[in-house]
Amino acid sequence: MSAAQRVLLCPTTMGLLLQSLFLLLLFLLGFCLHPAAAFPKGCYPSEEEGLKTFRCSNAQLTEVPKDIPNDTNKLYLDFNQIPFLPRDAFRDLPLLLELDLSHNAIARVESGAFQGLAEHLHSLDLSSNRLVSVSKDTFSNLKAKVNLSNNPWLCDCRLQELIRAVELVADSSEGIVCDSSTQEEHIGKSFLQVIADTDFCNVYKKTTDIAMLVTMFGWFAMVISYLVYYVRQNQEDARRHLEYLKSLPSKQRQSEESSTISTVV
């Protein structure tokens, strides 16, 4: 290779080297500026119908992710293994409109789990989980339509109060079935069908009232028994004392009889 060729090749090689360094710098800047690398495996942001969406469907999650963009409008956490929802689980998502938690292993929802979502959330899917009993206060002030179908519900007063406190998704009520119940004949039936004939809360109130009456009667019987025993015991003591007095000389007997009578009175 001649000296002239080397001179011509050198600027080209330098240019390629500079271009490679520039591309590497851009890559590093993109890595630092975009938080996507922090998302759990299987989760990704997207935009659907003009709404910012974050999908974590079937991502083998065991808890609610903590690095969800706070401008998310639709959040999909379905088909995972999330066992419970802690307090303030979605506190940093003030713009959330839809929340899909279906097909998980959720058995417990702490009070305040949906705190901060009352203003915007209009759809909440908790179907196909392991919910047995949830307090109505869990959904306090929540205006979203809720899907509670396909859970192993315990049909009792607590579930009755919950159903009255939320707005159910249309056609989802038939999927709320009694897996267990305070009355065995209700098992396997739709809860709405059951409460058409049974008021669980009224039955509970009647049972509580009866229990209180039985308790009060028990205490009353104990008091009466004690009073009868006390009177009889005193009468027996007085009788014995009078018999003793009769066996004494008359003067001493009269004095002690007066004392006994005054004592009894």
User: Residue 18 falls within a domain, yes or no?
Assistant: no
| pLDDT at residue 38, as a whole number | 72
pLDDT at 118: 86
Tens-digit pLDDT profile for residues 148-163: 999 999 999 999 999 9
Strand partners, 231: none
Q: pLDDT under 70 in the chain at which residues?
A: 1-37, 203-265
* Last residue within a domain, chosen from 143, 177, 198: 198
What's the confidence (pLDDT) of residue 30? 46
Q: Are residues 154 and 226 in the same domain?
A: no
pLDDT recorded at residue 17: 54
What's the pLDDT tens digit per position in 15-63?
555 565 555 554 444 444 444 447 888 999 999 999 999 999 999 999 9
Total domains in the chain come to 2
Whole-angstrom distance, CA of residue 112 vs CA of residue 187? 30
- Can you tell me the distance from the alpha carbon of 74 to that of 46, in angstroms, rounded to the nearest whole number? 10
Q: Is residue 54 included in any domain, yes or no?
A: yes
CATH code of 61's domain: 3.80.10.10
Q: Which two tokens stand for residue 222?
A: 């104990």
- Asked whether residue 166 falls in the same domain as residue 72, the answer is yes
Tell whether 44 is covered by a domain: yes
Q: Which domain holds residue 105?
A: 38-198
3-state secondary structure of 112: coil
92 and 216 in a single domain? The answer is no
Pick from 44, 53, 90: which is nearest to 72 by CA?
Answer: 53
- Tell me whether residue 65 is in a domain: yes
pLDDT of residue 59: 96
Q: 155 with 219, same domain?
A: no
Q: Let me know whether 203 and 223 are in one domain.
A: yes
| 223 & 126 share domain | no
State pTM to two decimals.
0.65
For residue 126, the model assigns a pLDDT of 98
For residue 196, the model assigns a pLDDT of 86
205 and 121 belong to one structural domain? no
**Could you tell me if 104 and 147 are in contact, meaning their C-beta atoms sit under 8 angstroms apart?**
no
Residues 76 and 192 in one domain: yes
Instruction: Indicate whether 112 and 156 sit together in one domain.
Output: yes
Q: Are residues 60 and 71 part of one domain?
A: yes
Residues 176, 155: Cα–Cα separation, whole Å: 9
- Domain shared by 116 and 219, yes or no: no
**Does residue 28 lie in a domain region?**
no
Same domain, 157 and 55: yes
- Note whether residue 243 is domain-resident: no
Q: Would residue 24 count as lying in a domain? A: no
- Whether residue 188 is contained in a domain is answered as yes
